[in-house]
């Protein structure tokens, strides 16, 4: 993630396809292409954000379905939570002031959701979108507020309870969105892929 020191972009939107393989098995052909194009449509109105996708080393690199302009990186770490921690560490080391990570299944969110997330991050230290089981599917963070992102076990069930406790202990402000309905996302993908 080599960055020009004169670059003005301070926010990175990092896509994290953790559930990619299980979705591909469910929906077979067209999954990667559909999700990549869907995210391109969602994020296109936000040129102020740099975009990246963190891919698993076992995933095919060509094609991966995402726009060519997106930066591509290989996930580092054995456990998904370690991989997200490394994602934040890498991005903040490269000079980004705000980082948002989102699992690619969040592509079923309304088109204006990134705007809601960015607005919330302007006024809060951290922003979270949990899944129904309490794991975190989307999170935004400001580097200047808190550096111990490795303590956040985003992908553990009921993780949001411990995460919010850590935020409170460190006097961090946060916004918590309503849980994201994964079955609804699957139904949308199924419908779109069959059309």
- In the Cβ-directed half-sphere of 112, how many Cα atoms lie within 13 Å? 2
Q: How many domains does the chain have?
A: 1
- pTM above threshold 0.85: no
Q: Residues 19-47: pLDDT tens digits?
A: 555 555 555 556 667 777 888 889 999 88
Whether residue 30 lies inside any domain: the answer is: yes
Whether residue 39 lies inside any domain: the answer is: yes
Whether residue 2 lies inside any domain: the answer is: no
Name the residue range of residue 114's domain.
Answer: 11-194
Whether residue 168 lies inside any domain: the answer is: yes
Confidence at residue 79, expressed as pLDDT on a 0 to 100 scale: 79
Interval 154-183 mean pLDDT: 86
pLDDT band at 18 (very low <50, low <70, confident <90, very high): low
Specify the CATH number for the domain of residue 182: 3.90.550.10
Could you identify the residue written with the tokens 């794991």?
A: 135
Whether residue 162 lies inside any domain: the answer is: yes
Confidence at residue 3, expressed as pLDDT on a 0 to 100 scale: 40
Whether residue 3 lies inside any domain: the answer is: no
> Which region among 16-20, 27-31, 50-54, 100-104 has the lowest average model confidence (pLDDT)?
27-31
- What string of H, E and C letters represents the secondary structure of 149-190? HHHCCCCCCCHHHHHHHHHHHCCCCEEECCCECHHHHHHHHH
Whether residue 189 lies inside any domain: the answer is: yes
Confidence at residue 148, expressed as pLDDT on a 0 to 100 scale: 64
How far is 64 from 137, CA to CA, in rounded Å? 20
Given a cut of 90, is residue 174 above it in pLDDT?
yes
């Amino acid at each position: 993630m080599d960055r020009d020191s004169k670059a003005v972009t301070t926010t990175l939107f990092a896509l994290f396809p953790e559930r990619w393989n299980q979705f591909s098995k469910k929906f077979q052909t067209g999954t990667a292409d559909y999700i990549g194009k869907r995210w391109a449509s969602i994020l296109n109105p936000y040129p102020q954000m740099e975009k990246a996708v963190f891919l698993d080393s076992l995933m095919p690199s060509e094609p991966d379905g995402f726009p060519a302009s997106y930066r591509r990186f290989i996930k580092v770490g054995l456990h998904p939570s370690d991989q997200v921690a490394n994602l934040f560490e890498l991005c903040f080391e490269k000079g980004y002031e705000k980082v948002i990570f989102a699992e690619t299944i969040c592509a079923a969110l309304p088109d204006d959701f990134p705007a809601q997330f960015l607005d919330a991050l302007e006024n809060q230290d951290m922003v979270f979108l949990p899944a129904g089981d309490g794991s975190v599917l989307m999170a935004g963070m400001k580097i200047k507020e808190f550096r111990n992102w490795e303590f956040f076990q985003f992908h553990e069930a009921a993780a949001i309870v411990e995460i919010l406790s850590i935020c409170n202990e460190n006097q961090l402000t946060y916004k918590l969105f309503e849980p994201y309905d994964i079955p609804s996302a699957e139904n949308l993908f199924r419908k779109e892929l069959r059309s």
